[in-house]
Amino acid sequence: MKFFVDTADVPAIAELNDLGMVDGVTTNPSLIKKSGRDILEVTKEICDLVAGPVSAEVIATEADAMIAEGRKLADIAENIAVKLPLTWDGLKACKVLSDEGKMVNVTLCFSANQALLAAKAGATFISPFIGRLDDINLDGMELIEDIRTIYDNYAFETEILAASIRSVNHVLDSARIGADVITAPPEVIKKLASHPLTDKGLATFLEDAKAAGIKIV
C-alpha cells in the first residue's frame, strides 16, 4: 500500500519522507490556506521534496476553466496530479487532461457509480472520502469495498486512494480491503506506530536494565 500525506506542512512532509513513509502528497485549497503560503510556491516546494505524485486541486468549477487551470498546475512539476472534483464538468476535464498524459486525481467521491465514471474518464486516482461518509452514519469502508470489486471486475487501472482518513482503523481496514493508496494527516500516520503494550514492554525493559546496571556506551 502507498502512503500519501494529506498536508501542505512542508516540515511534516520532510520528516516522514526521511523515514521512507511518503509515496506522495495530497493538498487542497483548505490545506494550502492553513499553511499561509502561496499555492504555487508551496506546491513547487513539495514537488521538489518528494518523488511521488503531488495532488494540486483546481478551484474552477466549469470544465474549460478546470482544464486551463489543470494545465497550469501540471506545469509546476512532472509529478503533479491535477485534482478535480467529481462533477460532470470535472469528468470532462479529467478526460481531456488524462488524454494529454497528465495524472488526474478525481476527488470528493461518495458513491461507487461516481468511481466507475471516473475510471472510464481515465482518472489516475479516485479519492473516496471515508470519514465524511462516517460523519453522516454511512459506512465509508463499504464504499472502498464496492469500488475495489468493480475495478477488479473490469481491470480498471485507476488507483483507489482512500481519503478523509480519520483514524488508524481506517488505514487498517483500507489495507485489508485492498485500497491502492491511503492519504492521511501526518499525525494519523505516526499513530500507526503506537501501541500501549509496546510502551509497557519498553518501560519494563528499561527498568530491568537499570536494575541490572546495564549500560551501553
**pLDDT tier at 213, thresholds 50, 70, 90:** confident
Report the pLDDT value the prediction gives residue 28, as an integer from 0 to 100.
83
E strands present in 45-199: 54-57, 80-85, 103-109, 125-128, 159-162, 181-184
pLDDT single digits (tens) 135-148: 999 999 999 999 99
Q: Is 61 helix (H, G, I), strand (E, B) or coil?
A: coil
For this structure, is 95 an active site residue? Answer: no
pLDDT single digits (tens) 71-124: 999 999 999 999 999 999 999 999 999 999 999 999 999 999 999 999 999 999
pTM confidence score: 0.94
| Averaged pLDDT score across all residues of the chain | 95
Residue ranges and CATH numbers for the domains of the chain are 2-211 (3.20.20.70)
Specify the residue for cell string 514492554.
Answer: 201
Q: Which of 2, 33, 83, 92 is catalytic?
A: 83
Q: Is 192 helix (H, G, I), strand (E, B) or coil?
A: coil
